[in-house]
Amino acid sequence: MDPRLVQRTRYLLQARVRRAKSCPAPLFPSACLHLVEWVQHHPILSAITAELRAASAQFDAGIAQAEKVGRGEAHSLDPIRAASLSEHAALCLRVMDSIANAGRHQGDQPRVPGDDEGIPHRELLNALSALVYGDFSPKEDESIERLRDIAVDGLYEFLDEGVDSRNAIMGLLIKYKQRSEWFHRARLRALAKEGVERRRPGEESLAVDLQEYVFDQGVEFSIEPTSASGEADLVLRDVDGSHVVLDAKYISAGAPPSVFKDKLARGFHQIARYCNDFHEPAGYLVVFIADEKLPRLPVELSDGFEYITVKGRQVYYVPVIIADAPSASRAGVAQEVPVTLDDIVNVPTDVVSAPPAEN
């Protein structure tokens, strides 16, 4: 991934955090709202916070109690101590979510007589400060400063450390998956059937759509068309000489389980070989699935991202569902194709190197 994309993400993150850190106290809830919503919709940062949001569920009871204290419905509060840096970041995100939610309703708060500063949700901010700091501050403004130092800084530091090449490319691919599944299923099925830009129908034409999307996100790259093992759909070469290996596979409607397994095995092994050719530890496999059945793979998780280790290389898996399927309320029981680790990993080289099975 181009370092300039990572640098720009960090620059924008710093700018938005700076506002939450330095804005006047009455604007603090709305500044937190703007920061949280921006992170939530950012293609790279939203991928980093996905695992944090799952981990933050353990703090829901404490946050709910703090919100009750803020509304005057309770008077006691037990401080929360995170057991690790990632748990601390999850707590910071959950606190920021609560402040952001208050920011959404900032205009609903009546002005307190004698409150010259007019700080909205003062009691909630005091309670959240006590939750993460350990006690209530005798000074009202100090609660906001504590939240800036603990919650805002804690979330920022975790996000800043997480913006690396892997998270950047996975963020883009997850955004591509969402955009494709929500808005472009029919268009992608048409590309797979008819082809585009003089490319063959199927994987080759779908890979063009993926390449175009990556390019449109402002990623600066040159395409390395071949390696010693053959041709990957997209190999990005950074300005520092490192490579990001992307490959695409397509499973058409009505494909039998044998084709699912064949396509997936080929995809994972090809990525592993390309990574070996370019001396890269990881690569990315995007699988377009036009069938209503979905593969169930024995994936592992790293920071919320799915992958399978093949020949010592981590191959990250991004399924893009483009089936002409009914809505979830009408679909009934989901159909799955079980795919074992043995189906993926322990495949003879001559099988994954042979011409693909028809689909």
Mean pLDDT of residues grouped by 10 in the chain (359 residues)? Answer: 70 95 93 93 76 87 92 87 91 95 66 42 90 79 92 94 76 90 96 88 91 79 56 63 84 96 95 88 93 95 82 92 78 85 84 58
Entry field: residues in the chain: 359
- Measured CA angle at 18 (ends 17, 21), to 5 deg: 90
CATH code that applies to domain 165-353: 3.40.91
Q: Are 35 and 19 in contact (CB under 8 A)?
A: yes
Secondary structure (3-state) at 354: coil
Task: Give the per-residue pLDDT at 108.
Answer: 47
Q: Are 322 and 248 in contact (CB under 8 A)?
A: no
The separation between CA 212 and the C-alpha centre of its own chain, rounded to angstroms, equals 20
User: What's the pTM value of the predicted model, to 2 decimals?
Assistant: 0.62
Task: Give the per-residue pLDDT at 116.
Answer: 38
Q: Are 96 and 17 in contact (CB under 8 A)?
A: no
What span, in angstroms and rounded, lies between the C-alpha atoms of 156 and 325? 40
What span, in angstroms and rounded, lies between the C-alpha atoms of 152 and 244? 32
The separation between CA 179 and the C-alpha centre of its own chain, rounded to angstroms, equals 13
Identify which of 218, 274, 212 has the alpha carbon closest to the alpha carbon of residue 243.
274
Task: Give the per-residue pLDDT at 230.
Answer: 55
Domain ranges of the chain: 3-162, 165-353
User: Phi/psi at 94 (nearest 5 deg)?
Assistant: -65, -40
Task: Give the per-residue pLDDT at 255.
Answer: 96
Q: Specify the residue for token string 């593969």.
A: 295
- Beta-bridged to residue 103, according to DSSP, are none
Name, in order, each residue with C-beta under 8 angstroms of 251's C-beta and a sequence gap of 6 or more. 259, 260, 263, 287, 288, 289, 290, 291, 359
Secondary structure (3-state) at 335: coil
